[in-house]
Amino acid sequence: MTEQTPAPPLAHAPVEIAVIGGSGLYRLFDAGIVTEIIVDTPYGQTSAPITIGERAGRRVAFLPRHGAGHTEAPHRINYRANVWALASLGVRAIISSSAVGGVSPDYPPGLLVVTDQFIDRTSGRADTFFDEGVVAHLAAADPFDPVLRRTAIAALSALGELFAPTGTVVVIQGPRFSTRAESLWFRAAGAHIVNMTQYPEVVLASELGIGTVNLSFVTDADAGLAPAEPGADAAASALEARPHETASTETAVPETAETDAVTAELVFARLAAAQPRILAAIDGILRGIPAGYAPRPLIDPALIRAVLDRPVRTAQTAQTARTVLPVQSPRFATATGNPPVPHPVPVPAPTTEPGPAR
Q: Answer yes or no: are the C-beta atoms of 72 and 174 closer than 8 Å.
A: no
> What CATH number is attached to the domain comprising 176?
3.40.50.1580
Say if 4 falls within a structural domain: no
By C-alpha distance, which of 218, 226, 228, 221 is closest to 262? 221
For the stretch 4-29, pLDDT in tens is: 333 344 444 579 999 999 888 888 99
Q: What gap in Å lies between CA 79 and CA 200, rounded to an integer?
A: 7
The 3-class secondary structure across 88-140, one letter per residue, is: HCCCCEEEEEEEEEECCCCCCCCCEEECCEEEEECCCCCCCCCCCCCCCCCCC
Q: What is the pLDDT of residue 339?
A: 41
Say if CB 140 and CB 206 are below 8 A apart: yes
Task: Report if residue 2 sits inside a domain.
Answer: no
Q: Pick the catalytic residue: 30, 220, 260, 309? A: 220
For residue 255, give every residue at least 6 positions away whose Cβ sits within 8 Å of its Cβ, in sequence order, or none.
230, 231
Q: In the predicted model, what is the mean pLDDT of residues 261-289?
A: 92
Residue 316: band (very low, low, confident or very high) from pLDDT cuts 50, 70, 90: low
How do beta strands 93-102 and 58-64 pair? unpaired
Does 357 fall in a domain?
no
Residue 253 domain-assigned (yes or no): yes
Domain assignment present for 261: yes
State residue 69's pLDDT score: 79
Query: Can you give the pTM of this predicted structure?
Result: 0.79
233 noted as active-site residue: no
Range of the domain at 266: 9-347
Q: pLDDT tens for residues 107-118?
A: 999 999 999 999
- What average pLDDT does the segment 110-138 reach? 94
pLDDT tens column, 218-232: 999 998 775 544 444
Choose between 317 and 290: higher pLDDT. Answer: 290
Nearest to 167 by CA among 183, 154, 153, 155: 153
Whether 247 and 215 have beta carbons less than 8 Å apart is answered as no
Encode pLDDT of 157-214 as tens digits.
Answer: 999 999 999 999 999 999 999 999 999 999 999 999 999 999 999 999 999 999 999 9
Catalytic, 30? Answer no
b/e sequence 211-239, b meaning 16+ C-beta within 10 Å: bbbbbbbbbbbbbbbbbeeeebebbeebb
Distance CA 252, CA 258 (A): 16
* CB contact at 8 A, 54 and 10: yes
Segment 263-274 mean pLDDT: 88
In a domain, 92, yes or no: yes
355 domain residue, yes or no = no
- DSSP one-letter code for 27: -
Using one digit for the tens of pLDDT, what is the confidence trace for 59-91? 999 999 988 878 788 899 999 999 999 999 999
Of all residues in the chain, the percent with pLDDT exceeding 90 is: 62
222, 233, 260, 309: the catalytic one is 222
Quick check: is 245 in a domain? yes
Domain count, the chain: 1
Torsions phi, psi of 205, nearest 5? -60, -45
Please, which pLDDT band fits residue 259 given cuts at 50, 70 and 90? low
